[in-house]
């Protein structure tokens, strides 16, 4: 049995001058890449093999990230279906030279799909929530999945 907490990953990265946009703060795409990297590792470990990003839900940037911030990306599987998984990611920042509490920078939910050698979706093992929080995340992940699939169906239907 695998619980969401067994799938947790934490990545930390110091933001440098290479990561900035024209305003001098960190480019949103840099943060998105780190989020996708973390979700990719979590999904590949849980799915025991290659996994690709099928979708990333709206990503809200709550606070700008500055050069010298240490970004911490926390990711875990919230829900697993047949071949797809929802990975929840939370991004926090702290200063590299100061012991201040972490600031919430961004959150995102990604749909990752396990693939076989022929790049076809491949089954993954079931996920078993072991705490009330994990059960809540699983319920909420299912609600998001229903919305994503309904939106995709509605768009396809509107074209026919």
Nearest-approach distance from CB 65 to ligand COA, in angstroms: 23
Q: Mark the segment that binds ligand COA (CB under 6 A) among 47-55, 61-69, 70-78, 128-136.
A: 47-55
How many beta carbons lie within 10 A of that of residue 99, not counting itself? Answer: 6
Number of H helices, E strands in the chain: 2, 6
Q: Is residue 148 near ligand COA by the rule CB under 6 A? A: yes
Pick the closer one to ligand COA by CB: 50 or 70.
50
CA angle at 97 for the pair 92 and 102, rounded to the nearest 5°: 20
Name residue, tokens 């010298």.
68
For residues 5 to 34, the per-residue mask of contacts with ligand COA, x marking binding by CB under 6 A and - elsewhere, is ------------------------------
């Amino acid at each position: 049995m695998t619980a969401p907490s067994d799938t947790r990953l934490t990545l930390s990265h110091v933001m440098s001058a290479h990561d900035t946009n024209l305003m001098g703060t960190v480019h949103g795409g840099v943060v998105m890449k780190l989020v996708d990297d973390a979700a990719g590792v979590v999904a590949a470990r849980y799915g025991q093999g290659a996994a690709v990003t099928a979708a990333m839900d709206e990503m809200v940037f709550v606070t700008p990230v500055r050069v010298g911030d240490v970004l911490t990306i926390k990711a875990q599987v919230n829900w697993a279906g047949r071949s797809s998984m929802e990975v929840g990611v939370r991004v926090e920042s702290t200063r590299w030279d100061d012991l201040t509490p972490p600031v919430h920078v961004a959150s995102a939910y990604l749909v990752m799909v396990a693939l076989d050698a022929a790049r076809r979706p491949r089954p993954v093992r079931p996920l078993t929530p072991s705490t009330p929080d994990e059960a809540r995340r699983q319920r909420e992940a299912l609600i998001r999945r229903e919305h994503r699939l309904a939106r995709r169906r509605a768009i396809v239907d509107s074209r026919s």
